[in-house]
Amino acid sequence: MSDLAPESPDTEEPATDISDVIQEARLWRDEGWTARIIKNDDDDGWAVEMTREGEREPTLIGPWTMGRDKKNPKPMDKNAFNTLVKTASEFRRRSEQQLHAQLHKHVSVDGPDGSIKVTLDIVPDDDFPYADLKAWDDMGEMVAKVQVAPNFKLSAASAERWVEGGYRKPTSG
């Protein structure tokens, strides 16, 4: 009988199975990422694409170094792969932050009883996109909420008009 407990099926993120790891000259797969060295269609050189496991499109595509023969690509190695994973992960994080900033905006304006924080949360649904316009008081309590068009332009002026108008659904931004 073994002293080792069986692996729990409830682990949050399974480690990469050793059979999933590939370390070839033009293809590396590890740590949830795949690096593939491809012919650069724009010139005579090579490129590398980094794709996150489970995604169809690459997160990052960049130039790749030529080998010593000036014809074939330099083979992938662990250090290059680790650098690419770090770069692709950072690019992905910045893209997610940018998307979040585009979909969630806020301004603060003066209301009759103090400062009012007005938020706009866009829901980019393919069929029925919309946005929620909300007002929050100093205590963090929501005082109003209306649904508006996803292209509503939130600004200090549009927020002031909404607050001064008694939180009625705005006709435009």
Range of the domain at 143: 103-164
**Do the domain assignments include residue 5?**
no
Residues 62 and 26 in one domain: yes
**Do the domain assignments include residue 89?**
no
Tokens 């008009």 correspond to what residue?
A: 161
Residues 11-35: pLDDT tens digits? Answer: 444 444 555 889 999 999 998 999 9
Residues 112 and 70 in one domain: no
Residues 136-167: pLDDT tens digits? Answer: 999 999 999 999 999 999 999 999 999 999 99
Name all contacts of 132-141 with Cβ < 8 Å and 24+ positions apart.
133/162, 133/170, 135/111, 135/162, 135/163, 135/167, 137/111, 137/113, 138/114
Residues 66 and 112 in one domain: no
**Do the domain assignments include residue 157?**
yes
What residue type is 100 in one-letter code?
A: H
Residues 118 and 159 in one domain: yes
**Do the domain assignments include residue 26?**
yes
Put simply, whether the predicted model's pTM sits higher than 0.85 gets the answer no
Number of structural domains, the chain?
2
Tokens 């829901």 correspond to what residue?
A: 123
Per the CB < 8 A criterion, the answer to whether 106 and 133 are in contact is no
Three-class DSSP category at 50:
strand
Q: Which tokens belong to 30? A: 């590890």
Residues 30-80: pLDDT tens digits? Answer: 989 999 999 987 777 899 999 999 999 999 999 999 988 888 999 999 999
